[in-house]
Structure formats: structure tokens, C-alpha cells
Amino acid sequence: MLPHNIKVMVLLFAVSAGCGSSDAHLSPQIKKTRERLVLSSEPKDILGILEVREAGVPEGEFALLGRIGGVAQPWSPGEAAFIMSDPVVEVANDHVCSGDCAFCKKKKEKQPDPWAIVQFADETGNVLPIDARKLLDVEESQTVVVHGHASVDSIGNLVMSARGIYIRR
């Protein structure tokens, strides 16, 4: 049996080995995939999630702006996938109305879901089997622009098959 102070040191080492954004502990394959997916410059002609939902999903590839989160659990553990919400949603949630404003009238109307499922897939179309937080070095509440091809799934979710991500810092 290990003495208590050695157990604590082993535990601290194990915890610290997984912390931080250093990619020194990443495999060469993960580093290569990250370099391919993380964009160094922000794409042009960016659309918002609500804009896409209201106007219909455009044909072909485009860039979609959002903030990681907007739901209780935005991550798909073990997969390069997450949920992002339109940044307008946070503004709407912070809005306090003392009367009958145009914003609140609009809010009462049936609005499309302000979320998108973002997935990063391999060449065969399967979602990459690594947590997006580790692969892309992203975290909840970050504003990102994803570039790829969007579609609406059978239950009405906006799904972005992303080919790249720009992280606004």
C-alpha cells in the first residue's frame, strides 16, 4: 500500500496530465487532424443559425456563426460533435421587458430552434471518435464559425457537417 503523500502526488500528476491546452500530450494523428480542422482566419459570408433556419438551408457549403452551448449538455462525449446556439439567444435571455416592446412581441411568435448540431467527420462520413474539446481545443461559451455543409435531419435539427472551425478569441 502506498503512503498517503505518494497517493496524493500520483493523483495530482494524473489530473494535471489531462489539464491545460498544451497539445504536447496529443498523438501525431490528433495534431494533424486539429491542424486540418482549425482555421487560421475567419471565413467570409457568415450566416447566423436563426437566419439559416428562417430563410432555409442554403445549397452547398457556407459558414455558420454560433456559440458553443445553449443547452444543458452541448458535448457528445467521445465524438467530435457539439451543439451551438445563435448568439442572439443569449441577448434574448438577458432581455428584461417592462412593457410591450417589439422584441417581446417577436419572441411570442413561433420561432425556429436557435441551435445547430455540429459534427466533424472522417473521409467516410463517420463522426470522428474523439471528444471535440480535446480535438479542437474548444470549450463551452466560445464563439465559433464553422464551415461546411448543412442539412436538416429527419426530426428537424439543423446539422452542420463541418470541414473547418474558426475560434474567435
HEC string of 74-134 equals CECCCCCEEEEECCHHHHHHHCCCCCCCHHHHHHHCCCCCCEEEEEEECCCCCECCCCHHH
Query: Range of 88's domain?
Result: 40-167
pLDDT of residue 164: 98
Q: Considering only residues 15 and 144, tell me which one the structure prediction assigns the higher pLDDT.
A: 144
In a domain, 49, yes or no: yes
In a domain, 7, yes or no: no
In a domain, 61, yes or no: yes
Q: Tell me the pLDDT tens digit for each residue of 125-137.
A: 999 999 999 999 9
Q: Tell me the pLDDT tens digit for each residue of 37-96.
A: 999 999 999 999 999 999 999 989 999 999 999 999 999 999 999 999 998 875 544 556
34, burial (CB in 10 Å: exposed 0-12, middle 13-18, buried 19+): middle
DSSP letter for 44, please: S
Question: Whole-angstrom Cα distance, residue 116 to residue 65?
Answer: 10
In a domain, 23, yes or no: no
Q: What residue has cell string 471565413?
A: 43
In a domain, 9, yes or no: no
pLDDT of residue 25: 82
Task: Please answer whether residues 84 and 75 qualify as being in contact, where contact means their C-beta atoms are separated by less than 8 angstroms.
Answer: no
In a domain, 15, yes or no: no
**Cell numbers describing residue 47:** 450566416
Task: Please answer whether residues 84 and 116 qualify as being in contact, where contact means their C-beta atoms are separated by less than 8 angstroms.
Answer: yes
Kindly report the CATH number assigned to the domain that includes residue 160: 2.40.50.140
Question: Whole-angstrom Cα distance, residue 17 to residue 46?
Answer: 37
- How many folded domains does the chain comprise? 1
Question: Whole-angstrom Cα distance, residue 14 to residue 18?
Answer: 7
In a domain, 141, yes or no: yes
pTM of the model: 0.77
> Band of the pLDDT at 20, cuts 50, 70, 90?
very low
Question: Whole-angstrom Cα distance, residue 18 to residue 4?
Answer: 22
